[in-house]
Amino acid sequence: MKEYVLFPTQHCSERSIDDLAAGILYLYLFEGLGVKGIEDELLGKQEFRGYLAKTVLNYFGVDTSPGNENKKMYYGMNVYDVASTLLRSEEKSRSIVGQYLLRYLEAYPQSSR
């Protein structure tokens, strides 16, 4: 898999698009941040006006429409436990989200979340 290096952040000096996607999934599903808030948290700016985060979430099949039940769906739950459950899912899109949540734990190890 080709790695694309993106913006350095407080968490690491360089980051791949996959690490960014993992962070976006975590912040939306666990923390309940909106798409603009996610970009501000991960990139330190809202240059993309939420479209980057929304595009990534929609790519993974996560509905971001107003009133959906995905936002903050796993709040207060253990990331590893949720990822492990999703990995066992027969639905491929859920399994892929589980893989990215595990990647989140690797990409942001100092995170207290």
Q: What's the pLDDT at 111?
A: 57
Band (pLDDT 50/70/90 cuts) for residue 100 is: very high
Band (pLDDT 50/70/90 cuts) for residue 42 is: confident
Band (pLDDT 50/70/90 cuts) for residue 81 is: very high
Q: What's the pLDDT at 83?
A: 94
Return the H-helix or E-strand segment holding 40: helix 35-43
Q: What's the CA gap between 87 and 95, in Å, rounded? A: 4
- What angle, 0 to 180 degrees and rounded to 10, lies between the N-to-C axes of helices 92-107 and 79-87? 150
- Cβ–Cβ under 8 Å, residues 79 and 101: yes
Residue 48 has pLDDT above 70, yes or no: yes
